[in-house]
Structure 1
Amino acid sequence: MPSLPADEARDFLDRHPDVDSIDLLISDLNGVLRGKRIPRDNLEKAFSDGVNLPASVFALDILGNTIEATGLGLSSGDSDRVCYPVAGTLMPSPWLRDARQAQLLMTMSEADGSPFFADPRQVLDRVLEGFRRAGLTPVVAVEVEFSLVDRTRDALGMIQPPCSPATGERAAQSQLYSINELDEYADLLEEIHAAARTQQLPLDTALKECAPGQFEINLVHCDDALAACDSAVLLKRLIKGVALHHGFEATFMAKPYGQEAGNGTHVHISLLDEAGNNVFAAEDSDPLGTPLLHHAVAGLLELMPASMALFAPNLNSFRRFQAGLYVPMAPTWGYDNRSVALRIPSGPNAARRIEHRVAGADVNPYLLLATLLGAIDHGLQRRLTPPLSITGNAYEQAAPSLTNSWRQALDLLEQSAPLAEALGENFLAVYLANRRAERDQAIQAVSKLEYDWYLRHV
């Protein structure tokens, strides 16, 4: 990736004389933003020359430890690559230090400017290149669910829902779509929207979700899939920062509470041809769309079992998959049906699209979309045919078949030739090594439940 003209940096500094430092951000495999903080005097150089970071940033597990099995650590000298700014992402961070701080998204390249294979953003761009060659443009909208959590733990050291800023009462009910709940958290939600406007993140709807303290914020449909994922990654950082400013923690854990609905990431996808027409919209207004939509659905369904290690990237992710909580348990599809994995939303024919409902909120947005578009391309290239769509309750018509085992999910991903082709064999090897090492560490931990159940009774 070539460097960017320093004009963007100079213009920003002229418009924001109070900004004294800039966070350079890059998304690791987990979607965690890592990087460096530089003084304002170094910003123009970051644009013209780039900034070095070790390739091992993509070898880090969720704790920030380097996984040597990825081959990106000491075995390769823990060598640097160059990171360049993503155009249009240099923005103030209004919730930090009285807006004296800014942020800039970066992406990693080799020394010759070619994409670095393990950067999730570059993985997505690789998949998008195939759509560009085919004259197709994905239009994407991301919906993000999150939970607000009290910063004080309960008597057992566990997290607990927040207390309402308006009433002081602790959230204990679902209150799905409650306007009262939106009113009670209005100051926080309004600051999220204000900060998003400052950062030019295109927010759409906000709503109260199923669990206590759980909300959803949607991003508008975007015909730049990379920008859509940039916005999703940066929105998560923004929400966490604003929540802390209001005395809460915001978490994107897939399953914060065992008996409550978890946090998901839903993605809406349509495809435009070179004339700007939605190729999923049937001329006869069939609500189930065109043959191309059916091929796309079939590709997504066929590769869904092998994609689970990307949709559910950690130990907690798999706890979200419980029947009756609006989480798909099998590869299913249907029209205007929230019990299926792939929902074809109602609405105008020109807006016909696929909503993918499987992934958790803990997913890496770049890897999620790369996987979905790779599966869509798989279906389009092979002109696959989907099974019959489901009407009614999918939980009663399709037995659970998506794995709830992290180990099996990783094995299925390793065996998938189509996903290796889409995402890159080298990337997939790094991802699998990283996830397996984290899994090995996670399963060694002995939980409190095990002590409670087994310590005295076996």
Structure 2
Amino acid sequence: MTTQKNINELIDDLRQKGVQIVEFLYDDYTGLTRGKTMVIDDLAAHITSGMGITKAMFASTARDGIVEVADMTAVGELRLVPDLDSLQILPYAPQVATMMCDHYNTDGTRASADPRNTLQTIIAKLKELGLTAKMTYEHEFMLFSGTGADKKPVNPQVCFSTDAMDFAYTFLPEMLNQLRAVGITPVEYYPEAGSGQHELPVAPAEALLAADNEIRFKRIIKHVALEHDMSATFAPKPLLNTEGSGAHVHFSLWQDDGSNAFYDAHDDLQLSQTGYYFIGGMLKHIQALTALTCATVNSYQRLQPGAWSSAFATFGQDNREAAIRVPSTFWGEEGKTMNIELKASDATANPYMALTGILAAGLDGIQHKIKPNLPVDVDPASLTDNQRTELGVQRLPASLEEALTALGQDDFYKEIFSSRTIEAYIKVKQADVTYFAGQTPDQIAQTHRDLY
């Protein structure tokens, strides 16, 4: 329980550490992080009462246009209330502390438009079943030099190249140190197949922290790149002539006794019945889910058959052309390492919406015992249309507009997020569809490369 004594002690501690400014942050429907800052002298009065923010911000596009949604207008206000458990000091700006916020209505109730609130609701539902979700993003990003249309990939090399590794060692230690400073645990690093592309997986965390970490991770990578005269982009397809960048989500469910609810030593895939049901729920809703996890026009420039990005709604063990992959476990740590991976995911998503969408669909599968189709162990693109139909394999949406249509038709997510939230989200994204309709594929890629 937060008391005035706790608040005073917190502020005294921040002062002693040299903090002068505190950020109140959130992620909007465009997948961009926004917020306000508070000078520490005035912080005490706002830790519990929050900072005021217009309701219209959830109807904001990436170009700061406001789409028309009832109750998301210039009239009315919400409160950004910080989650004190999320407090971190920026490693590259130690005079700044940063906190993720939940949106509240002025009457003290949680705002349904806020996906961070919705994620916490789903986490609570899992807790009622004795389950805890652990999740992480597996990020690819590209490094560029130059500006605008003149941006070029830095040190393009072949996949897993030691030349690329040697280049990365000039900035990678700094990235690792700054990530650890905000509680993120890097576990691996390797140069990837795209021009100037790198991958830096991090350890899983409980779902809310995993979403918060997604925001911190991208911010730190971008900042360190700038310090080394480069720009980092997490755009799904920043260049059309090379591989795209995913932000695959790995996740598992853990029971109160500490066992992995997805693991079954006797199954051919070592996947439990709970795991199969979870996949069944995801596949039931995956057409709509894709609108949440692949959230921009540029996402669908990446999400193509044969691109190792997954373009088909199916699953398989170590099948990197399936939307859902069941990774093989590690020897001697089978129970600890069993997890499920969603490959149809990138870094343009709002992480709270994306992780909520995954967990809610999986929970629907568990509660209703939804069985998935049989696992597919070939590239679905190599099958005929009839073969895919027999196996129950569908094409994922081929455009953001198709994904938004699927989201609008899936009443399940309207119950999870609220009808108004889904309406606003679709309208914000539809504004992007309209904006990019007259642009060339290269222009679309460049705009997203600069924005994300």
- Whole-angstrom distance in 2 between the partners of 1:12 and 1:218: 32
Matched, 1:357 2:343: yes
2:249 to 255, 267, 271: 267
State the Cα distance separating 1:416 from its structure 2 match.
Answer: 0.3
Map Cα deviations across residues 345-396 of structure 1 (whole Å, 9 max, x no partner). Answer: 1113313221111012211111111111111012112211111111233331
Over 3 Å counting, the alpha-carbon distance change for 1:259 and 1:12 in structure 2 is farther
Q: CA deviation at 1:116?
A: 1.0
Task: Give the 5 Å matches for 1:428-443.
Answer: 428-443=422-437
1:185 aligned residue: 168
SS at match of 1:441: helix
Correspondence for 1:95:
92
| Alignment of structure 1 residues 317-396 onto 2, 5 Å | 317-347=299-329, 348-350=333-335, 351-396=337-382
- Tell me the TM-score normalized by structure 1: 0.88
Q: For residues 198 and 16 of structure 2, what CA distance do their matches in structure 1 show?
A: 34
**SS across alignment from 1:395:** helix
Alignment partner of 1:227 out of 197, 209, 213? 209
Contact 2:24 2:80 in 1 (8 A): no
Instruction: Specify the alignment match of 1:403 in structure 2.
Output: 397
Name the CA distance, whole Å, in 1 between partners of 2:441 and 2:238: 16
Pick closer, same or farther for the CA change 1:333–1:51 going to 2, 3 Å.
same
RMSD over aligned Cα atoms: 2.3
- Structure 2: gaps of 5 or more residues: 445-452
Q: Given that residues 316 and 322 in structure 2 are in contact (C-alpha distance below 8 angstroms), is that contact kept between their aligned partners in structure 1?
A: yes
CA offset digits 1:163-210 (Å, max 9, x no partner): xxxxxxxx343x222233122122322111111122222322222111
CA distance in 2, matches of 1:100, 1:420: 41
Match of 1:168 in 2: none
1:119 paired with 2:108, answer: no
Aligned equivalent of 2:69: 69
SS at match of 2:153: coil
- Tell me the distance in 2 between the aligned counterparts of 1:238 and 1:352: 29
2:300 is the alignment partner of 1:299: no
Counterpart secondary structure, 2:97: strand
Q: Deviations over 1:398-445 (max 9, x none)?
A: 577112122221111100022222222222122112212232233255
Q: Paired residue for 1:42?
A: 42
- The aligned residue for residue 145 of structure 2 is 150
Tell me what 1:159 maps to.
Answer: 151
1:2: Cα distance to partner? 7.9
Distance 1:35 1:282, change over 3 A: same
- Tell me the secondary structure at the aligned position of residue 344 of structure 2: coil
Does the 8 A contact of 2:11 with 2:40 survive in 1?
no
1:111 aligned partner, one-letter code: T
Write the deviation string for residues 144-169 of structure 1: whole angstroms up to 9, x where unpaired: 2211111345xxx343112xxxxxxx
Q: Which moved more, 1:373-382 or 1:107-116?
A: 107-116
Measure, in 2, the Cα distance between the counterparts of 1:276 and 1:335. Answer: 24
Segments of 5+ residues of structure 1 without an aligned counterpart are: 163-170, 451-458
Task: Tell me the matched-pair count.
Answer: 431
Q: 1:443 to 1:150 in 2, by over 3 A?
A: same
Query: Percent of aligned positions with the same letter in both sequences?
Result: 27
- Higher mean alpha-carbon deviation, 311-320 vs 177-186, is at 177-186
Is the CA contact (8 Å cut-off) linking 1:371 and 1:423 kept in structure 2? no
Distance 1:447 1:204, change over 3 A: closer
**Matched residues in 2 for 1:447 and 1:406: separation?**
14
